[in-house]
Amino acid sequence: MLARLRELLVRMDAAESESEPDLALVVATLLVELARADDEFSRTERDSIVTMLARQFELDTGAARELLDAARRQADHATSLHPLTTRIHAEYTPERKRGVLDMLWDVAAADGVIDAHEEHLVRKIAELLYVPLGVFTQSRAAARARHGLE
């Protein structure tokens, strides 16, 4: 009985470690979608995304750039946000969802302006992640303050 329990725990740990790279790609794809929302994917936004991915997923800069490239390819073929947000909603805690929301706002503010299309997309993603309105508002205000957009 104990051997079965250990085996189950080992399989669960393996499944979690395998899904983390997938989740990193999902988050990166959302960041790319947001960066493209204003029809301009600036170098500042790209650099910001690479920095965030490296920090969030403990990657070196080269691996974060590769992840960004993979996310750009995935975003090129994406037809809906729903498959992406469904994965995050299912597997992330409220705190990690807040972290994703903070990254989205940082991408939106990276070029010094939060465009109306960017704000709309962040709101839509927050709703699909079932992030409470208060958390959405706090995250937006914090990003505006971090980027001097008050």
Whether 15 and 58 have beta carbons less than 8 Å apart is answered as no
Residue 1 has pLDDT above 90, yes or no: no
Torsion of CA 105, 108, 112, 116, to 10 degrees: -110
The confidence band for 38, taking pLDDT boundaries of 50, 70 and 90, is confident
Residue 137 has pLDDT above 60, yes or no: yes
- What residue ranges do the domains of the chain occupy? 23-146
Query: CB-hemisphere CA count at 13 Å for 145?
Result: 7
The confidence band for 39, taking pLDDT boundaries of 50, 70 and 90, is confident
25 phi and psi, to 5 degrees? Answer: -65, -40
Q: CATH for 23-146?
A: 1.10.3680.10
Residue 92 has pLDDT above 60, yes or no: yes
The pair of structure tokens assigned to 48 is: 């910001």
Q: Which residue has the tokens 């988050």?
A: 27
The pair of structure tokens assigned to 87 is: 């994965």
Residue 40 has pLDDT above 90, yes or no: no
Q: Residues with Cβ < 8 Å from 124, sequence gap 6 or more?
A: 81
Residue 6 has pLDDT above 80, yes or no: no
Global pTM value: 0.85
